[in-house]
């Protein structure tokens, strides 16, 4: 199978590319820079130069491939609403390109902002509609495609997809702790972050593509929920700084724009996904990985 992957040199995207290639698939990866193109070539993938704002390029990639995995996103939180709009338009364009083909199409979303019916969110729980407070519309765009008869699978990722090369939320927390001299949690720190190792996440994407165009929603979640306090304690140990509890007001000052993410408390189940895809996570747990995957060697990086 030839799979078109956006975000193919990002942390998750690159892991997916390697996973697909290791299992005999061909990969066409979207690359917006020479550096990205070179990285894809070294992995053994074909390169399609362009970005998420180039309709003809996205159309070509989707139409000349047997399946599409969309992990691309403009990771610039200073213009988050704009990045979300670009993401939504890209999903719509990719879907339109494969209309009436029944090609597998997997869209990346998250488990953190769902309208959970119980204390632990499950795959059938809907995402909250996009809003000014959280404008990301990946699920809304995918659902709209499915309602038009273009099956779009949704792969929900947890707040922490971890492993060597991670440039997501955990490195951001480490940078905050390094800058302030404190590793903090809010209140009792029992708000729980789901997590998954990047290799397990990549395998879930591959299995979802193999299942076909089914318009299903999956949770790539290995750990249902790690208390945020345990994450903060691991960071404190790694940096040799105090670990402290903060009030809501104090946490807002400490975490600044990251406060909303630091306060996430949404345990997530993946029982249905594991059964549906025969997916069994085997990677290290988050707290273990924080101490062993080089998290304290450098600051937050940027995907390409």
pLDDT in tens, 166-215: 999 999 999 999 999 999 999 999 999 999 999 999 999 999 999 998 89
Kindly state the DSSP code that residue 258 receives in the 8-state scheme: G
In the prediction, which pLDDT does 293 show? 82
Assigned domain for 299 exists: no
Residues 21 and 148 occupy one common structural domain: yes
Q: What is the pLDDT of residue 302?
A: 41
At 140 the three-state DSSP class reads helix
Same domain? 135 vs 186: no
Crossing angle for the helix pair 169-180 and 248-255, nearest 10 degrees? 100
Residues 123 and 184 in one domain: no
Same domain for 156 and 21: yes
Q: How many domains does the chain have?
A: 2
Assess if residue 119 is contained within a domain: yes
Domain that holds residue 8: 2-160+196-223
Encode pLDDT of 133-151 as tens digits. 677 889 999 999 999 999 9
271 lies in a domain?
Answer: no
Rounded to the nearest 5 degrees, what angle is found at the Cα of 16, between the Cα atoms of 15 and 19?
A: 85
Q: What is the pLDDT of residue 136?
A: 82
pLDDT, residue 100, reads 96
Q: Are residues 113 and 238 in the same domain?
A: no
Kindly state the tokens that stand for 24.
């005999």
Handedness of CA 189, 240, 256, 108 (dihedral sign): negative
* Residues 207 and 106 reside in one and the same domain: yes
Q: Does 88 share its domain with 214? A: yes
Residues 121, 108 share a domain: yes
Same domain, 48 and 171: no
Burial of 163 from C-beta contacts in 10 A (0-12 / 13-18 / 19+)? buried
pLDDT tens sequence across 46-63: 999 999 999 999 999 999
Which DSSP letter does residue 78 get? G
200 and 237 in a single domain? The answer is no
CATH code, domain carrying 67 = 3.40.50.720
Same domain, 130 and 91: yes
Assess whether 112 and 188 both reside in one domain: no
Residues 6+ apart with CB under 8 A from 70: 6, 7, 90, 91, 94, 105, 106, 107, 108
Question: Which of the residues in the chain have pLDDT under 50?
Answer: 301-304
pTM of the model: 0.94
CB 104 within 8 A of CB 208: yes
Nearest to 259 by CA among 187, 196, 194: 187
Q: Are 272 and 123 in contact (CB under 8 A)?
A: yes
Q: Tell me the CA distances in angstroms from 107 to 89, 138, 140, 263, one per residue in order.
A: 12, 7, 11, 25
Instruction: Decide: helix, strand or coil at residue 25.
Output: coil
Domain assignment of residue 171, yes or no: yes
């Amino acid at each position: 199978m030839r799979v078109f992957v956006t975000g193919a040199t990002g942390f998750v995207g690159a892991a997916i590319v390697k996973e697909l290639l290791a299992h005999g698939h061909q990969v066409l990866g979207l690359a917006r820079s020479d550096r990205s193109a070179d990285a894809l070539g070294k992995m053994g993938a074909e390169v399609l130069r362009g970005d998420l704002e180039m309709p003809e390029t996205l159309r070509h990639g989707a139409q000349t491939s047997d399946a599409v995995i969309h992990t691309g996103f403009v990771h610039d939180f200073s213009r988050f609403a704009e990045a979300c709009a670009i993401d939504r338009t890209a999903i719509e364009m990719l879907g339109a390109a494969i209309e009436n083909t029944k090609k597998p199409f997997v869209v990346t979303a998250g488990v953190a902002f769902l309208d959970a019916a119980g204390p632990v969110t499950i795959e059938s729980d809907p995402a909250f509609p996009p809003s000014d407070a959280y404008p990301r519309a990946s699920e809304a765009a995918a659902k709209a495609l499915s309602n038009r008869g273009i099956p779009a699978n949704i792969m929900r990722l947890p707040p922490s997809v971890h492993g060597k090369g991670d440039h997501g939320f955990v490195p951001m927390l480490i940078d905050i702790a390094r800058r302030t001299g404190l590793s903090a949690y809010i209140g009792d720190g029992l708000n729980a972050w789901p997590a998954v190792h990047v290799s397990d996440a990549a395998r879930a994407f591959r299995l979802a593509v193999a299942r076909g165009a089914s318009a299903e929603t999956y949770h790539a979640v290995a750990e249902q929920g790690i208390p945020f306090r345990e994450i903060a304690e691991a960071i404190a140990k790694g940096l040799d700084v105090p670990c402290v509890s903060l009030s809501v007001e104090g946490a807002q000052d400490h975490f600044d724009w990251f406060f909303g993410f630091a306060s996430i408390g949404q345990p997530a189940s993946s029982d249905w996904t594991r059964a549906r895809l025969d997916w069994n996570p085997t990677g290290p747990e988050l707290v273990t990985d924080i101490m062993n995957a080089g998290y304290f060697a450098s600051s937050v990086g940027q995907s390409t």
